[in-house]
Amino acid sequence: MSTSMHEEQQIRDLHLDVLREIGNIGAAHAATSLSSLMRKKIDMHVPDVKLVSFDEMMELAGGAEKVVAGVFLRIEGEVTGSMFFILPVEQANRFIRHLTNDATFDFQEPPFSELGISAMQELGNILSGSYLSALSDFTGLKIMPSVPSLSVDMAGSIISFGLMEISTVSDDVIVIETGIFDSAEGTEGVKGHFFLLPDPPSYRTIFQTLGVL
C-alpha cells in the first residue's frame, strides 16, 4: 500500500519535471531570439508548473484588471492547447520603442501606429515560434501554431479566452509559466510571461512521447 502510493508520488514528480523541462527549453529559445532581436541580454526564471483555479490564473498574469499586451495562439497538431505571451503594457512600450525607434509609441494612448502594432505582432510571432519549435524538436511531436493574435487590454479579458477549451472539462488549469527579464536590470519584476496551457488530453500524449507514462 505505502509502496504503491510512493510510486504514484514519484510518477507525479517526474511528470512535473517533464512539464518544467518543456517550459525551460521553450522559454530558453524564446529568450535567445528576443536577446538577438533587442541586442541585449535577456534572462529567464526557472519555469513553474502549477495547478491553479481560473481566478489564480488571472493573478499569475498580474491581476484581472492589469493592462497588458497579450499575444495569443492556439496550438493544433499532435498536441493541442493555448499559449500566451504576456507583457505588462509599460514593458511592451519599451520593447516597441526600441524596435521601431519611435520614442513616442504608447499602448496606453490609442490609436496606435500601424508600425508599432505590427512590431508587437512580429515580436509575438518570433517568441512563440521559437518556443514552440524548440518544444517540437524536444518531443518530436508535430505542433502547428495558429497565427498569433494581439490584444492590449485587461489581463482577465485576454487570459479567459485561453481557458475556454480547458473549462469544459475542469475548473482548474495546469499552467507552465516562465518569466523573462532584462538581465541588465536584474531579476526584480519579471518583464514578460509565457503561459502554456495544454488541453487536458494532450498530457497523455506528452508523457507517452517522453516515456514517462
Partner 1 sequence: MEEKNVVKVGIADMNIVKVPDTIRTTGLGSCVGVVLYDETKKTAGLLHILLPDSSAGRQQIVNPAKYADTGVFALLEMLKQEGISPWRLKAKIAGGAQMFQLGPGDTMRIGPRNVESVKKELERLSIPLISEDTGGNNGRTIEFDPESCKLKIRTVNAGTTEI
Q: How far is CA 52 from CA 9, 18, 76, in A?
A: 19, 18, 23
Binding range to partner 1, per CB under 8 A, among 16-24, 43-51, 116-124, 167-175:
167-175
115 vs 163, beta carbon nearer partner 1: 163
Reduced to 3 states, what is the DSSP secondary structure of residue 69? strand
Among 22, 42, 132, 158, binds partner 1 (CB under 8 A): 158
Cα(89)–Cα(104) distance, rounded to whole angstroms?
14
How far is 155 from 58, CA to CA, in rounded Å? Answer: 7
Where are the alpha helices (H) located in the chain, listed in sequence order? 2-38, 54-60, 89-100, 114-139, 155-167, 201-209
Q: Contact with partner 1 (CB under 8 A): which of 9, 36, 167, 208? A: 167
86 CB-near residues (< 8 Å, 6+ apart): 61, 62, 68, 69, 70, 71, 155, 158, 159, 192, 193, 195
Write each residue from 100 to 129 as x if it is in contact with partner 1 (CB under 8 A), else as -, in one continuous string.
----------x-------------------
Should residue 72 be labelled a site residue for partner 1 when binding is judged by CB under 8 A? yes
Site size for partner 1, by CB under 8 A? 32
* Residue 38 burial (CB count, 10 A): 15
- The yes or no reply on residue 65 touching partner 1 (CB under 8 A) is yes
Is 204 a binding residue for partner 1 by CB under 8 A? The answer is: no
Applying CB under 8 A, among 124, 145, 156, 198 the residue interacting with partner 1 is 156
**Where do contacts with partner 1 occur on this chain (CB under 8 A)?**
54-55, 58, 63-65, 67, 72, 74, 110, 146-147, 149-161, 163-164, 167-171
